[in-house]
Structure 1
Amino acid sequence: MATLLLLGLCLASSVAGANVNLTSAGCVDPSGLQACQNKVNEQTTSCINQAKRDSSQQELLACSCADYINNYNCYAAFCWNRVWECEYQEYVISYMENCATAKLPVPYFPAPDGAADACSCNLGKVHMAVVDAIQETATCSNNADSGDASSNVQQIQGCNCCEISGAFSSIFEICPNTDPTLIGLSSIGDLESELNTQFSSCGPYLETYDCISSLSYSLDGVSTFLKPSDPLQTGTDTLSNGPGSVTTPASGQVFSYTNGGDGVVYTITAATGAAEISAKTSAAVPGSGSAQSGSDSTTSAAKSTGTAKSSGARVFARGPFTTFVLGCSALAVILL
């Protein structure tokens, strides 16, 4: 089933024409990025082959997570001048939504407000606001413990409505000029279905329960939770990169971070024509940095993380701007 699911996601991406890839054009070191990505592809292929030998669906999914991590680490080193652009932000969102163990921090995500050469819509900020709305609904529902069963049911429904309103508000307030169909609007219907709640029925609940003052919702970038009766001004802009250019790496020439997904401490050296990535563990990482020889780190990571459990939080349904990315054509050949 996992194999069919992965192939299905690839096919869906192809039909939609929304494949999210990290390209080298305009990077500070395009040849370095390409070499790094080639190494990632080799490791991912080896990982998938090992997963097949082990007949392990979990290892196969872990290969996908490792592929994402290795690719955006390459980008952070060799293409740090483009990390605020739509392409990189979309890629990280794809990782967050398609890897069950994905967690922040991730380099250069989300983009800060007012960054040079940034995507016209702060996609990461929208994504995180929607994720927060979902997570805060779990807390909100758990707090419905007044002792009055009827009152609790009403409050839980208010929580559900605040979640849907929060998703709507994230899209329309954070990126008011962007065509909302490009940033997940059509996927809100999946939230409604999952919660068995239509936003059109939420008016009375949102009048009774103020999402911020009564139910303690707090979403970065959202000051007002929309009601069904509120007029919407729909943007029409496509996604594009803004003015300016990034001339120095925002995180410095050398920085380390602990990846939230695999727990590895990565050290990334920004390219000035060459760059390196090293990991402060035994896991080998693409690039010219230090790595333990004689081991396939991506395969090892798949074996060690293949049994990892997700946090159990519900995941916001994929918007049109997020797709599964593992090199779909290569994946199809390997799996078949």
Structure 2
Amino acid sequence: MSLSSRALLALVALSSVSLAKEVGYFDSSSSCADPKGFATCYENADTTYSNCVNNNCAGGSESCYNSCGGSTSCMNEQCPGLGIDCINACECERSALQIDCAGQRCLVYSCEYQATTLDYLSFCLNPDRDGLPYWPTPDDAPDSCSCNTGQIEQKLYLITNQMDTCSNNQTNIGQMTDVDGITDYAQACICCSFSAIISAIWGTCPDTQPSLLAADEWFAGLLNPGHWEDCGPYLENYDCAGDLGFGRADAGGITEFYSPGNMRTNGTKSLYNLDGVVSTPVSGDVFTWTFASSLAHTVTVSSADATATGTKVSGGSDVTATGTGMSTATGTAESDVKPGVGSSLIVPSWTIASIFGILVLSTL
């Protein structure tokens, strides 16, 4: 690259600073090589989402979309005729387009990119997880997030799948001759999955405040309604890693199981991006990823010469935790990245339904 080209690129980057703004989870001035183009890309994704809702969801209208500012939760509450499944399908499409936008112009190992991908996984039904670009983030990648939320999400997904596999293991169930034994086994599958979930969050990022990783949501939506506080005896009497399978790599690979009376201490750090420089693109001028089962997205990077530089060197601010670490992870924080970046590690609704289905079936 010639000196004049570098100088021109520097001038373009400098002139873009005044135009930069927060776009999605990103502060595009510090984590994107083309802030103006990135903002335009997101605006186009928003337009696609608006058209999808207004044209495809029953009772869709611009007035509903505009009054809610495009908020999925608001539209579902204020305009229930639209149907949350339809809204989520449109949100899934927008999230895929936002991944394209970020992959074209921004740091793809950052906390912000991870949050963008988590949105996609939370809205899309049966997404192709293996086809996602830069997911999860490789270990020790430059300018990566202080907590690898991609690894946490991957473990949570495998753990919740194993919960169903465990409860439907006919080999184990076939060895039981009484109803109480079958009921206890079903409860043990649930308790082991709860303990594995805790290990996935606390163990993967031990220094991070767990409330920033949606731990409170998992407790409120799953563990507390499932009576986590009563799981101690089941965790003592059953081999979660071996006999019940949660130690297998395809079940989360969990090796340490916590009990209600023996929880790991909460971390205190906020989320932040590590120091480093990532040249855009990481995977060449063009990359392809798979949306759904077979629909390929081909993405052309905006500039093969542009770079985005991370500036956070170490640490992350300490935050005040009000939870005890025994049954909750409550705490508030002024995060070093935009608030809400870890909140997409949500509890899938099908997981909640599955747990209570297991309990009902075990008592029949």
Output one character per residue of 1:248-270: Cα deviation in whole Å (capped at 9) or x when no partner. 533333222221x3631111222
2:280–2:305 contact (8 Å) kept in structure 1: no
Question: 1:101, CA displacement in angstroms?
Answer: 4.4
Output one character per residue of 1:254-297: Cα deviation in whole Å (capped at 9) or x when no partner. 222221x363111122231699xxxxxxxxxxxxxxxxxxxxxx
CA distance in 2, matches of 1:178, 1:100: 29
Judging changes above 3 Å, is the alpha-carbon distance between structure 1 residues 202 and 152 closer, same or farther for their aligned structure 2 residues? same
Partner of 1:163: 193
TM-score when scaled to structure 1? 0.69
- Off by >6 Å, runs of 4+ in structure 1: none
Amino acid paired to 2:343: T
Amino acid paired to 2:215: L
Instruction: After superposing the two structures, state which structure 1 stretch, 88-97 or 136-145, moved more.
Output: 88-97
Give the counterpart of 2:235 among 206, 215, 234.
206
Residues paired across the two proteins, number: 258
Partner of 2:105: 78
Give the counterpart of 2:28 among 24, 29, 42.
24
Q: Which protein, 1 or 2, shows the higher relative CO under an 8 Å CA cutoff with sep ≥ 6?
A: 1
Partner of 2:206: 176
Question: 1:90, CA displacement in angstroms?
Answer: 1.3
Q: C-alpha root-mean-square deviation of aligned residues, in Å?
A: 2.7
1:177–1:236 contact (8 Å) kept in structure 2: yes
Judging changes above 3 Å, is the alpha-carbon distance between structure 1 residues 193 and 103 closer, same or farther for their aligned structure 2 residues? farther
Question: 1:134, CA displacement in angstroms?
Answer: 1.0
Runs of 5+ consecutive residues of structure 2 not aligned to the other structure: 1-22, 61-81, 307-339, 346-364
1:174–1:221 contact (8 Å) kept in structure 2: no
- Report the structure number with the largest CA radius of gyration: 2
2:207–2:266 contact (8 Å) kept in structure 1: yes
CA distance in 1, matches of 2:181, 2:272: 47
Alignment of 1:202-281 (within 5 A): 202-217=231-246, 218=248, 220=252, 222-259=254-291, 261=292, 263-272=294-303
Instruction: After superposing the two structures, state which structure 1 stretch, 222-231 or 103-112, moved more.
Output: 222-231
Partner of 1:142: 168
Judging changes above 3 Å, is the alpha-carbon distance between structure 1 residues 136 and 231 closer, same or farther for their aligned structure 2 residues? closer
Question: 1:168, CA displacement in angstroms?
Answer: 0.7
Judging changes above 3 Å, is the alpha-carbon distance between structure 1 residues 23 and 99 closer, same or farther for their aligned structure 2 residues? farther
Runs of 5+ consecutive residues of structure 1 not aligned to the other structure: 1-18, 276-318, 325-336
Question: 1:235, CA displacement in angstroms?
Answer: 0.9
CA distance in 1, matches of 2:120, 2:27: 16
Judging changes above 3 Å, is the alpha-carbon distance between structure 1 residues 99 and 22 closer, same or farther for their aligned structure 2 residues? farther
Partner of 1:121: 147
2:88–2:123 contact (8 Å) kept in structure 1: no
Give the counterpart of 2:218 among 171, 177, 188.
188
Question: 1:188, CA displacement in angstroms?
Answer: 2.7
Partner of 1:67: 94
Judging changes above 3 Å, is the alpha-carbon distance between structure 1 residues 21 and 51 closer, same or farther for their aligned structure 2 residues? farther
CA distance in 1, matches of 2:114, 2:53: 26
Amino acid paired to 1:267: T
Question: 1:180, CA displacement in angstroms?
Answer: 1.0
Instruction: After superposing the two structures, state which structure 1 stretch, 60-69 or 160-169, moved more.
Output: 60-69
Question: 1:156, CA displacement in angstroms?
Answer: 1.2
Using the aligned pairs only, state the percent identity: 31
Amino acid paired to 2:273: N
1:99 corresponds to 2:124: yes
1:116–1:246 contact (8 Å) kept in structure 2: yes
Question: 1:43, CA displacement in angstroms?
Answer: 2.0
TM-score when scaled to structure 2? 0.64
Question: 1:321, CA displacement in angstroms?
Answer: 3.0
Output one character per residue of 1:162-183: Cα deviation in whole Å (capped at 9) or x when no partner. 1110111111110000111111
Amino acid paired to 1:162: C
1:256–1:265 contact (8 Å) kept in structure 2: yes
Partner of 2:318: none
SS at structure 2 position matched to 1:211: coil
Amino acid paired to 1:69: A
Question: 1:136, CA displacement in angstroms?
Answer: 0.6
